[in-house]
Amino acid sequence: MPDKVIINGQEILPGQNVQINLNVAKLPTHTMIDLPVFVFRGRKKGPRLLIMAGIHGDELNGVESIRRLIVNKSVIPNRGMVIAVPIVNVYGFLNRSRYLPDGRDLNRSFPGTKTGSLASRVAHKLMTEILPVIDYGIDLHTGGANDNYPQVRCTFDIPDNLTLARAFAPPFIINSKLRDDSLRKAAHEMGKTMLVFEGGEALRFDEIAIKEGMNGTKRLMKHLKMRDSKPRKLRAPVEIQSTSWIRARNSGIYRAFVNYGDPVKKNQIIASITDPFGETEHKIKSATDGHIIGVRSLPIVNRGDALINLGIEGNEDNDLESKIG
């Protein structure tokens, strides 16, 4: 990749740390909406890493992880360059919403177009201004209505994906196919390696997820030889080949008997659903051995709601539907 780095018409020289504001749109009130981009370029040559969060506006843990990395200067590389984008979906962040005002999911709008919907325009701005100047990326996410244990999603059979995920060293590494119209797939088609980290629950800070996002980023930078030190790994990541949501077969009040991150055994009772009046109780059992990688926190459920996300290490052909006795 050429040494010259230009973003939004501004050249970033070796040793420079700059903030660039990418204009993404204008409100009906003529208020301009800018996307703050922080660029930290080392004096020596090296890889170029994108660290971004807030592609869904209600996912806050990644935003906080990047904020802390910037404040403590851990994001400044000795070699190479880091581009940090703490809040991609500025609209959603201000409105505490996953989506943009046009109702679209930004992470289903890539690669976008210059003249398309608002989501498409934001995606296009990232694809034309940021993606061309990077080698690797980590997209920090937070769970939605469910509380997810810190995890990296990548595609095991794509070169570099699993290697970089192991270097990040989260509690779980999940084999996840590329999704159409996602940033990860669009980056892959440009020849860039993009990992997705996720942890915690929407609109709430989760210290475990925040610190895993920070420490994983530091470990990845050390692996890429961008920095000279890294946090030690607390354990080897568990590599998950497949996942499945256990769903409610009854409506009522749901209680989980497991925490995210827990290992579970086949036929273990992991939750229950009762009616509000104490007349019925339906126990939920795990259909196989596995790991709890996500747990619903809201207690009132309807039939069909996703309750617990179960991860399986092997390639067994398991029926992962819950068994209710």
**What percent of the chain has a predicted confidence (pLDDT) above 90?**
87
Question: Is 322 a residue whose pLDDT tops 80?
Answer: no
**What percent of the chain has a predicted confidence (pLDDT) above 70?**
96
Distance in angstroms between the alpha carbons of the first and the last residue of the chain: 59
Calpha distance 199→202 (Å, rounded): 9
Q: pLDDT grade, residue 314 (50/70/90)? A: confident
Residues 6+ apart with CB under 8 A from 143: 59, 198, 199, 200, 201, 202, 294
Q: How many CB atoms lie within 10 A of CB 246?
A: 23
Question: Is 292 a residue whose pLDDT tops 70?
Answer: yes
| The CATH number of domain 242-324, selected from 3.40.190.10, 3.40.50.2300, 3.40.50.720, 2.40.50.100 | 2.40.50.100
25-49 pLDDT per residue, tens? 888 888 888 999 999 999 999 999 9
Which position has the higher pLDDT, 50 or 28? Answer: 50
The answer to whether the pTM exceeds 0.85 is yes
Pairing mode, strands 44-53 and 136-141: parallel
Which position has the higher pLDDT, 100 or 2? Answer: 100
Give per-residue burial for 211-226: e unless 16+ CB within 10 Å, then b.
Answer: bbbbbbbbbbbebbeb
Task: Look at residue 31 in the predicted model and tell me its pLDDT.
Answer: 85
Which position has the higher pLDDT, 314 or 174? Answer: 174
230-264 pLDDT per residue, tens? 888 778 899 999 999 999 999 999 999 999 999 99
Question: Is 323 a residue whose pLDDT tops 50?
Answer: no
The CATH number of 5-223 is 3.40.630.10
Contacts 24+ apart (CB under 8 A), 154-160: 154/195, 154/196, 156/239, 156/241, 158/188, 158/193, 160/193
Task: Look at residue 1 in the predicted model and tell me its pLDDT.
Answer: 62
Q: Where are the domains of the chain?
A: 5-223, 242-324
Task: Look at residue 2 in the predicted model and tell me its pLDDT.
Answer: 64
Which position has the higher pLDDT, 119 or 325? Answer: 119
142-164 pLDDT per residue, tens? 998 789 999 999 999 998 999 99
Q: State the average pLDDT over residues 275-288.
A: 94
